[in-house]
């Protein structure tokens, strides 16, 4: 999928299923997304709140699994 196709695809499903994650875990969150989902199936919005980033997923299953990886640091 080309970058333009990814952009168009994301535009159709955003905001999708949102999971808030503590900003200290940003790198680990991105690494999890890269290894468990295709690039066009997730997105991250930085600093949606103090010490918080929001990860957006096209599929609810991905968001639920992502939440269980760091339960103390998501959607508080």
CA–CA separation, 31 vs 36, rounded Å?
9
| pLDDT tens digit sequence for 23-46 | 999 999 999 999 999 999 999 999
| pLDDT tens digit sequence for 57-71 | 999 999 999 999 999
**Under a CB-based contact definition with an 8 Å cutoff, are residues 56 and 43 in contact?**
yes
CA–CA separation, 65 vs 39, rounded Å?
17
**In percent, how much of the chain has pLDDT > 70?**
99
Single pTM value for the model: 0.91
Q: What pLDDT is attached to residue 54? A: 97
Q: Where are the domains of the chain?
A: 3-73
End-to-end, the C-alpha distance of the chain in Å comes to 34
3-state secondary structure of 9: helix
Q: What is the mean pLDDT of residues 49-57?
A: 96
Q: Which of 35, 65, 31 is nearest to 44 (CA)?
A: 31
């Amino acid at each position: 999928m080309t970058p333009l196709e990814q952009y168009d695809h994301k535009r159709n499903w955003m905001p999708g299923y949102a999971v808030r994650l503590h900003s200290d875990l940003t790198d680990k969150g991105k690494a999890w997304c890269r290894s468990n989902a295709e690039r066009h199936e997730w997105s991250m919005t930085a600093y949606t709140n103090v010490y918080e980033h929001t990860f957006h997923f096209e599929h609810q299953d991905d968001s639920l699994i992502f939440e269980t990886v760091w339960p103390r640091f998501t959607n508080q």
